[in-house]
A and B are shown apart, each in its own frame.
Chain A
């Protein structure tokens, strides 16, 4: 697995949600804060289930949270 090609807007969505903390998002989705940090920094691509849970935490469709960037060769 090379560079993570799954991009996300979690930082912006947290800001829009009244500066929701990473800890709060982690509690809402049932993962550790470190996992949220890794996802937010695009270092870890979450499972489909966790991706839906994160989208649900922001009450928005999944495509507003995650996007796939095609690798340019």
Chain B
């Protein structure tokens, strides 16, 4: 299993951890009524910024831990980070799937807007859609690696 192949598992786990934690946190705030009233847009914006920051932080920590773990397990302090043409082909194929899904999520968001849904709901269709897309993209890559290309 190449470095790139392994790192997909790390990204997948990170995405699931971050999104689960985010929705658990946001559902608590939603129940407290934070997203009601005139400041709803500001609170949604703050939540999303925290999500982005936490996502980057978890991804960095996850990759560091993964590299340390890999060095210990393989007993190789200088593992190969080589990404070749097959890795890039697989990445591009998965990206194509992700873009198509993104178009669908965007369409759903527009429909939600025209139906008069709240800013909170609309933004969380985008965020939830983004999480599903990240997971589907990772699973697509894993499927392609298993198939060969």
B32 within 8 A of A: no
Q: Is the CB of B85 within 8 A of A34?
A: no
Q: Which of B83-109 contact A (CB under 8 A)?
A: 84-87
Q: Which of B1-36 contact A (CB under 8 A)?
A: 1-2, 4-5
A50 within 8 A of B: yes
On chain A, the number of residues with a Cβ less than 8 Å from chain B's Cβ atoms is 14
A32 within 8 A of B: yes
Residue numbers in A under 8 Å from B1 (CB-CB): 34
Given known A32-B2, A34-B1, contact A46–B85 (CB-CB < 8 A):
yes
Residue numbers in B under 8 Å from A50 (CB-CB): 85
A7 within 8 A of B: no
A60 within 8 A of B: no
**B interface residues, Cβ below 8 angstroms from A:** 1-2, 4-5, 80, 82, 84-87, 145, 147-149
Q: Which 5 A-B pairs have the closest CB atoms?
A: A43-B148, A44-B149, A31-B84, A32-B2, A35-B86
